[in-house]
Structure 1
């Protein structure tokens, strides 16, 4: 379907161009062209200079009758939970039925098999979804570029804000609102929005705002900002993969940029960042005998104290 819609939008392209756009091999493009042709789609290939893969002039897929809400919901077809959160669960189901009805029988069967065999569950195993009673109101204001007056809870305090909603992001099952507060663009956890009331005012979105790019930049900046301390360590080069046990990808990435040259015993120097020495101690303990803290002294002392306490627990008579 992606190939078909790409051909419909572009009017035609070479197999190499289609392969680059779809991130597949040229052989896969030709195989998919053959599959479309077998399914009754009037697609053909022209060899030689100026040739390529094309649809017969005037052909269009029969994906008609979608409302604007249904078109929005189609983009969330892989995340039915997200669509339901945003109040698009019903229109998503309707849009999927229309799409299935519009497809040729062969492609319809494939789409049905995919739905039966693939399910996306975004939150972690032990994550309980946030309660987000204001999400539907926030989403409605976002769709229509309407300003919102919110009450936001943080550290047991509530603050009133008037925001221009620019985007919603679901991160590991948690919803975040990206919004402009006067001149600043900030992130707000939707579960902490106690009340959300449209002001009746419209606003103009920043022309240069890109949601995905802003979120990535903000996430990177946040990850760096919370790594306030660091420890100089030595670790067995054969056990560097154990760093993944730290459960902080930003800290691990930063640590791996500081690896020194292995010594005669196969150990390397490394600098490991963390939020605090207490958190860092708990993060390094799972590496056991394969790591040694060299500096700062207080972290080295804490690690030694924990190791001694564990030894006394398991060997009380020693």
Structure 2
């Protein structure tokens, strides 16, 4: 069943009054049997649609029928359009057509005050194509393959039954059953390379609750306390929850948070550069200093 096809069918009848099943079948590239099945579904949903035989016959809506937009408030109409516009960022199929038709039905200007783009600044077009690629694999139950880089910097080849896309803490993740490691896994999409959708199908498995998946990511964590200079306020408020932050009298900030262990943590802390004034626990502070010495030696080998 195609909800967007049903909506467009009603929309066409509102404008054209009467169309034959053959005309609708040709427009939607489906069989006439599918069109008659759509009519039955719409009738069962309370839409006064019927078909008539003979000269001038076809499929019509009952005279006087109008889509009662007053059932939705102006704010609710705006909310629907904004939600649909957000889906265009993930290249959801047919959204632009549905968005245009609803805008005309609601008599709303398509000029937009919101635009959603999940890709990083300056990213290539190929990165923007990941969403429709992964969506196709998930909806068609197709196994995907890719190279993956974990937080330790290790590279591995993966074969995965994709289940869903997850947006968490400013990043996109793919959940699914990893055939390589034989278990449910979460993969950060930015670390997935050479993604390919295979012709191999799979039977969907029971969904893994997000809390369980999150526990698997946070299983090996360390509590870290950072002191960040006043000039680093933008990083503090961009990246940490209010309850993790203490604003010191000298203008600096103390942040206490749980982080997953691994090379990723070292790289993340080094990204603060001169904004970072202290790190605890002590063994992590020493490790970061050792990394800084290694960087200094590489940049100044003489």
Calculate the TM-score normalised by the size of structure 1: 0.44
Calculate the TM-score normalised by the size of structure 2: 0.45
